[in-house]
Structure 1
């Protein structure tokens, strides 16, 4: 009889442990009062994460993608999931991201459908997700994939002054968003695996932006710069594109604050980067609308067709809140970030009956050049087909909510 009692106790303990493990790995989507409802008591970052997972069981389905692709927009959203996992320790969020990574990276470290010879700077961005996955799993395939992306940067074409081309199809051009796509990855890689030997090269990328992209009248940054001044959208004297687009500035702002996570404080360029961040945010805050948001074209608030835009606003909130937390920015800016976030919650977030959260007023993606030709004019940016729940918006929203601990 004693042996049966012992077996029963062991089984009970096993079931108890198993149930506890399952509970830890289940998504906290269920409101006890209403089945399959995202609880309103959760923080905004989790409410958005669970909403994204509900709409898109596979993250590659976001933005109405028809098939999986190695994509910077998906990588951006998953970087927010990674931060949420680090804060919540809920494995569900990590699993959602890892499933995407594992669908691309095989046992040899090859990234499916990735061609380094395209020299597309956007394709570096999802690689940021590999650092922590490799650190946790020690699976060599992740390190090989990291090295594959690093090797693209070694061969990537550059302007005469040393800036990475945005893409091979855009010769001699740097775009603001390109800084976000590669510098956080490049910085972490060189510090982790190269003893920081390429930090000066990373600082150069920001120096080129600070030197060539700024509008001296406003202190804001144009979307792009053609060092050769050959492309039709470029200013024949400065080489810059003609318009200040808030989301491009948002990508650049996030690049600055994220690079500083890994850029050693003792490095002589660290202080310069912090100075760049302060200069940027000081200028951005001068153009914040009284509502708290920023306009699509940052410096043209009163012109016909301009509109308040949420993805760029969330990027600015994230940068300001993180910059203050890290000690890079003055604490007085916290009121600007909080006001912006509160206004987004009040007017630009919609909640379904089942608790699913939607972010509205997110502008389209905008590139320059190409066929048909995109001229970068004011009219070009303001003729946006605004969308709900697109990746640039929901990713930035999650990041902003996490930094403000909302």
Structure 2
């Protein structure tokens, strides 16, 4: 599939008409024409044209703001929700804000926490008793905002999220269950949801023996996922592991799920490069994580589509009917490779590989509408293990889940990859 430009003619005429009317209007106070900045300020996000001369990171963030003017409704929600996708996109927005210093990006981040945290520090829609690792991801937003604002409600909310780690159910060897209802299960997804928050919180608020114990626990989660989900033959990691081996998707001998899902591996790669931002330089776990990251990168290169430089939904079955080049995982791998190489964790060749993958995303998965709105296509909407209706982790299951455009689990990593590559 080649890059296409979608044409929304009706919308374009509306925007052009609005701009013409505004230009025609004189400011009664000083009789001067309004500037282009004034015009953009008066047009609602859904009607705003997005300049095509900006970097891809900013163009995609503006497209997300246009799609979701309220950050609490990211992920196509009708009602505000505290969830991991919000934290993912807003941490990408943080990076764009730091690069551009444009206040509207900071406001977008702040407004989410302002909307979701009450004056008493209660997190709306969050239920601690569900022990859901996904819910820790948006804690990253509070870790960013609290030092800037010193708002007590943000600190109270942070302490609540941190308390979840202390009460999180664990496997017999200390691995976090993905959720309370997913008994005895570790998923690759959970490493990204919990460990960067856990390590960052520890860096900000803990000292001495308490901090050492927490950092050790963070590294232990990676050790366990390597021990239980790594396929030694391919170097890839299975989506999940059931210690009890009771799940229908679990291998009777190993407890692993049967397939290598692109986004699960993407979550894991991002978890490694992000946790290393907070793990002390002298912590022995750094060397292990960097070793895991290098093994991971080597394994991924073996299953990459050589023509497009992208990856398939089910990583090692690219030739199988129904499989497709998937945007969220490919964006995550581009980010992981680029950041890993820039930080010196991976050989320099992986930065070049990230650039090739990024170009593949632009060529095959990105489309731009006439008003400049950027779309990321071929995103797997959601995938999991077990539940009701039951998800059996078969090849057929993964390739038949909904495919949609602009899933935040893809747009967030695309922004992050754009920033690392300075595109």
TM-score (norm 2): 0.87
From 381, 386, 391, the equivalent of 2:398 is 381
Q: Residue 174 of structure 1: SS of its match in structure 2?
A: strand
Determine if the alignment matches structure 1 residue 223 to structure 2 residue 239: yes
What residue in structure 1 maps to residue 349 of structure 2? 332
What residue in structure 2 maps to residue 66 of structure 1? 78
Determine if the alignment matches structure 1 residue 351 to structure 2 residue 368: yes
Determine if the alignment matches structure 1 residue 97 to structure 2 residue 106: no
Matched ranges for 1:162-177 at <5 A: 162-177=174-189
How far does residue 173 in structure 1 lie from its aligned partner after superposition? 0.2
Q: Residue 403 of structure 2: SS of its match in structure 1?
A: coil
Alpha-carbon deviations, 1:66-97, whole Å to 9, x = none?
10010111211111111111121111111111
Structure 1: gaps spanning 5 or more residues: 1-14
From 284, 295, 302, the equivalent of 2:312 is 295
What residue in structure 1 maps to residue 260 of structure 2? 244
Please say if residues 296 and 381 of structure 1, whose CA atoms lie closer than 8 Å, have aligned partners that are also in contact: yes
Q: Residue 163 of structure 1: SS of its match in structure 2?
A: coil
Q: Residue 261 of structure 1: SS of its match in structure 2?
A: coil
What's the C-alpha RMSD, in Å, of the aligned pairs?
2.1
Matched ranges for 1:39-118 at <5 A: 39-118=51-130
Please say if residues 60 and 100 of structure 1, whose CA atoms lie closer than 8 Å, have aligned partners that are also in contact: yes
What residue in structure 2 maps to residue 11 of structure 1? none
Alpha-carbon deviations, 1:360-397, whole Å to 9, x = none?
01012101111121110111101132101111111111
Determine if the alignment matches structure 1 residue 139 to structure 2 residue 188: no
Q: Residue 358 of structure 1: SS of its match in structure 2?
A: strand
From 394, 401, 404, the equivalent of 2:411 is 394
How far does residue 28 in structure 1 lie from its aligned partner after superposition? 13
From 274, 291, 296, the equivalent of 1:280 is 296
What residue in structure 1 maps to residue 6 of structure 2? none
What residue in structure 1 maps to residue 217 of structure 2? 201
Please say if residues 171 and 177 of structure 2, whose CA atoms lie closer than 8 Å, have aligned partners that are also in contact: yes
User: In 2, distance between residues paired with 1:270 and 1:256?
Assistant: 10
Q: Residue 50 of structure 1: SS of its match in structure 2?
A: helix
Of stretches 186-195 and 156-165 in structure 1, the one that deviates more from structure 2 is 186-195
From 113, 119, 142, the equivalent of 1:130 is 142
Please say if residues 382 and 402 of structure 2, whose CA atoms lie closer than 8 Å, have aligned partners that are also in contact: no
User: In 2, distance between residues paired with 1:382 and 1:393?
Assistant: 17
Alpha-carbon deviations, 1:1-28, whole Å to 9, x = none?
xxxxxxxxxxxxxx9xxx99x979x879
1:204/1:326 CA distance change after superposition, 3 Å:
same
Structure 2: gaps spanning 5 or more residues: 1-29
Determine if the alignment matches structure 1 residue 320 to structure 2 residue 337: yes
Q: Residue 109 of structure 1: SS of its match in structure 2?
A: coil
User: In 1, distance between residues paired with 2:203 and 2:112?
Assistant: 26
From 183, 196, 200, the equivalent of 1:184 is 196
User: In 1, distance between residues paired with 2:385 and 2:356?
Assistant: 32
Q: Residue 54 of structure 2: SS of its match in structure 1?
A: coil
Alpha-carbon deviations, 1:132-169, whole Å to 9, x = none?
21111111211111111000110111011100000010
1:28/1:79 CA distance change after superposition, 3 Å:
farther
Of stretches 178-187 and 287-296 in structure 1, the one that deviates more from structure 2 is 287-296
1:151/1:398 CA distance change after superposition, 3 Å:
same
User: In 1, distance between residues paired with 2:73 and 2:278?
Assistant: 31
What residue in structure 2 maps to residue 3 of structure 1? none
Q: Residue 295 of structure 1: SS of its match in structure 2?
A: coil
Q: Residue 375 of structure 2: SS of its match in structure 1?
A: strand
How far does residue 269 in structure 1 lie from its aligned partner after superposition? 1.1
Q: Residue 225 of structure 1: SS of its match in structure 2?
A: strand
1:349/1:221 CA distance change after superposition, 3 Å:
same
User: In 1, distance between residues paired with 2:189 and 2:42?
Assistant: 34
Length, aligned pairs only: 383
Please say if residues 199 and 218 of structure 2, whose CA atoms lie closer than 8 Å, have aligned partners that are also in contact: yes
What residue in structure 2 maps to residue 9 of structure 1? none
What residue in structure 1 maps to residue 279 of structure 2? 263
User: In 2, distance between residues paired with 1:329 and 1:355?
Assistant: 35
